[in-house]
Amino acid sequence: MTPGPLGINMATYVGYTSVLNAGYSPAIACLGSLLATISILWLPFIVMMLVSRFLLKHKEALAKKRLQCTPSYGRRACSQLQQWC
């Protein structure tokens, strides 16, 4: 879900060099690299927070679905249900 080390390193490098090549000082270029790194990380972070919040909210409902897996329920349906949980 996260961009990984290559994506983060590329964003940092591109943020730094693009601001530096635009004629700004190295201190401003560091801010550019920080902004580029944060901008590549915020979306996966928000998505992970939303998914974890959803899973914590519906944890009991998912546990009840797992308990419904009885032999009379069917072997194939039970295995498919457990894959989703």
At residue 30, does pLDDT exceed 80?
A: yes
Instruction: Answer yes or no: pTM beyond 0.85.
Output: no
Query: How confident is the model at residue 23, as a pLDDT?
Result: 95
Q: Which of 59, 61, 80, 58 is nearest to 69 (CA)?
A: 80
Query: How confident is the model at residue 55, as a pLDDT?
Result: 86
At residue 50, does pLDDT exceed 90?
A: yes
Whole-angstrom CA distances from 3 to 16, 39, 40, 81 are 18, 11, 7, 30
Query: How confident is the model at residue 61, as a pLDDT?
Result: 74
Element (H, E) at 70: none
Question: Which has the higher per-residue pLDDT, 19 or 66?
Answer: 19
pLDDT tens digit sequence for 52-78: 998 888 877 766 665 555 555 555 555
